[in-house]
Amino acid sequence: MPVKRLLLSLTVLAGLTVPALAGDVVVDKVKASQGSDGTWRFDVTLSHTDEGWDHYADAWEVLAPDGTLLARRELAHPHVEEQPFTRSRSGVQIPDGLDHVMVRGRDKVHGYEGAAVRYDLP
């Protein structure tokens, strides 16, 4: 009997932690290249447990190390069946002297709760 209670308790506790993890948008990969005009193109791969139109990863951002917004890519629809997924943004102006940026994802319900990822510019 004690083993059954322990398993039931662990099952309940595991169920309580899932919603907290489901909200985070994970930045899996970042790739950037500088064009001949000096602007940058960012290809960002995200993972998120999109649930439909009411709860999905709806944007990602490129930030300077001091938190200044450099670019935002709005995501117009859920990617329930496409995980992880990659979207791009061109024409990003990066100020002279920056050797890295931060990239973070957002979802419609939890906002910017996931970890920002440091990306060293090539």
Q: Indicate whether 52 pLDDT > 80.
A: no
pLDDT 10s digits, 30-47 = 999 999 999 999 999 998
Q: Indicate whether 21 pLDDT > 80.
A: no
Say which residue, 117 or 3, is predicted with more confidence: 117
The domain 23-120 is placed in CATH, from the list 2.60.40.150, 3.40.50.1970, 3.50.50.60, 3.20.20.70, at 2.60.40.150
Q: Indicate whether 71 pLDDT > 70.
A: yes
Domain coordinates of the chain in residue numbers?
23-120
Q: Indicate whether 15 pLDDT > 90.
A: no
- As a whole number of angstroms, the distance between CA 112 and CA 115 comes to 8
At residue 80, the pLDDT reads 64
Q: Which residues contact 41 (CB under 8 A, 6 or more apart)?
A: 32, 33, 35, 88, 89, 90, 91, 92
At residue 109, the pLDDT reads 84
- As a whole number of angstroms, the distance between CA 80 and CA 112 comes to 19
